[in-house]
Structure 1
Amino acid sequence: MMRILLFLGTNLAVVLVASITLRLLGVEPYLNAQGINFNALLIFCFVFGMAGSMISLFLSKWMAKRSTGTVIIESPSNASEQWLVDTVAELAKAANIKTPEVGIFPAQQSNAFATGWNKDDALVAVSAGLLNRMQPEEVKAVLAHEIGHVANGDMVTLALVQGVLNTFVMFFARVVAQLLDAFLRRDDNQGLGFMGYFAVVIVAEIVFGIAASVVVAWFSRFREYRADAAGAKLAGSGAMINALARLKAETQLPDQMPDTLTAFAITTGKSRKLMEKLFASHPPLDDRIRALKEAAYRE
């Protein structure tokens, strides 16, 4: 959840800043001076929509470090840190990727994330709470899950998906603004005007951006199953299932955990409203445990 929210937030901010800048510089009015040129508009939106997503991708590791207070283990200071670094290196070698940076952040909830713009420049971090509460084989399974994200290239794929969605968000926002402007220009009216057009585009981008987030969330849920499968392959199905079961147990302790864990951004598996299901970035724990058990049974 944390990783996805940071990415989406940065992406939306970049897209909105690009829209504001291009509008103020007069690029859009020049582009549409002769009316709606759909081909030119689509190319324009693709360039800047993809740019927003790529900037978010390149900033993802820096943003994650800053927002979580992650401390990178440059030189292990104790046996726990040494084990953590060695385990990540072992898993990375098994997954055929370069060893990511390893860090710990000061959160008491069970939490972990991986991020980075490519497989060979990634970061894997775990919370202090996860290290304190989980057994070593369970921590290894969590790390294997995160290494699975890196090996699968999930952040890059997410950036490409988001870039395409950005394109259509920006495109349809401007089409709506253009059509509304043309409608208001009937009978010699002045239309939306500079600020009115600008306001409609921004509002439409936010609305369409929220709708696009549903698609991103669906893709995120899909890739969690793949990361679980990778974690099971690297650390063993039993360890992966036990790690998820441990997290599920923590959610059921009174006053111990919220309904949503940020380790893998896991939900407790309780019934949820439709909107929560649509925007959930991760499947319920019960579904993920069931998928792992079914895969182990088939082997």
Structure 2
Amino acid sequence: MMRIGLFLLTNLAIVIVASLAFTILSKVFGLGSIHGSGGYVTLAVMCFCYGMVGSLISLFLSKWMAKKSTGTVVINQPNNATEQWLIETVAKQAQAVGIKMPEVGIFDNAQPNAFATGWNKNDALVAVSTGLLHTMSADEVEAVLAHEIGHVANGDMVTLALIQGVVNAFVMFFARVIAILVDNALSGNKENNQPGVAYFVTSMVMDILLGFLASAIVMWFSRLREYRADEMGARLASRDKMISALNALRPAESRPDQMPTSMKAFAISSGQSQGFSIANLFRTHPTLDERIGALQKLPA
């Protein structure tokens, strides 16, 4: 549960930073005293701008942040046969789906894992862990790389950022609408009153509460895109190789996840949990059993 909580806090960070700036402007421009549909339209536009800008900034910085947070070393010049094979395999898969060659990197992590990120499909990064290279066969690593290339080719990073931006906008808008109602009620519903303490406190509390609830939408899309990336992995490598790669992740599922919190949504593995629970609504990945079951329905 702590891992899920940390991930959600990371997602909320952009909203909270934007909200602090928005709160300052609320004091300057008197957004707490909005009345009528025109005022709420203005508020909605501002929330949309703040929500999207924060999400897009995160998208543009995603590759740099991924390298820094995981310690990924990009392979500029292969130093051994393994690195040469990684470059050649990714190049072949990228050509097959019609995207430019991504950067390829390796990060030091004992667990088998991999991720893809970048602000667009022609400027991406695909990285694998040392644990993945040490524990998986060449066929399984090939399938994992194909899965990550699937994320890139499908434009998942961009779509996820856009969805997060829209969710941020709705969170900020409804948080402020509630804050305006609370502040007006406590101030006697006076016209043109400047926002009071109740407005600022309520808006920040609602940013966090509504942001937590709205994250379920983002997590649903994250789980959906895993199925699509698995399908691409099966198409580029083979269904059997993709299933074998997912099965190879099972031993690692019982160990603590060492991936940085901000990168969990972009990794091939993100923990295992069976059955329905509230926590499962906030999972970034379906269970391995669910993913393997979906793959088994595909033609061999």
- TM-score, length basis structure 1: 0.88
Query: 1:54 and 2:52 equivalent?
Result: no
Question: 1:23 — aligned with what?
Answer: 23
Question: 1:218 — aligned with what?
Answer: 220
Deviations 1:218-249 (A, max 9, x none): 11111100000000000111100110111124
What is the distance in 2 between the residues matched to 1:202 and 1:30? 17
Give how far 1:134 is off.
0.4
CA contact (8 A) 1:110 1:247 kept: yes
Deviations 1:45-81 (A, max 9, x none): 1111111111111111111111101111111111111
TM alignment of 1:1-299, pairs within 5 A: 12-26=12-26, 29-35=29-35, 37-186=39-188, 194-251=196-253, 257-258=255-256, 263-268=267-272, 270-272=273-275, 274-296=277-299
CA contact (8 A) 2:12 2:212 kept: no
Corresponding residue pairs, total = 288
Query: Is the partner of 1:66 in helix, strand or coil?
Result: helix
Unaligned regions of 5+ residues in structure 1, if any?
none
Give how far 1:272 is off.
4.8
Greater RCO, CA 8 A, separation 6+ = 2
CA 1:260–1:225 in 2, change beyond 3 Å: closer, same or farther?
farther
What is the distance in 1 between the residues matched to 2:78 and 2:176? 52
Give how far 1:112 is off.
0.4
What is the distance in 2 between the residues matched to 1:186 and 1:5? 38
What is the distance in 2 between the residues matched to 1:292 and 1:137? 16
Query: Is the partner of 2:30 in helix, strand or coil?
Result: helix
CA 1:153–1:6 in 2, change beyond 3 Å: closer, same or farther?
farther
CA contact (8 A) 1:145 1:227 kept: yes
CA contact (8 A) 2:33 2:195 kept: no
Give how far 1:19 is off.
2.0
Percent identity between the two aligned chains: 55
Give how far 1:7 is off.
8.8
Output the amino acid matched with 2:245: A
CA 1:50–1:38 in 2, change beyond 3 Å: closer, same or farther?
same
- TM-score, length basis structure 2: 0.88
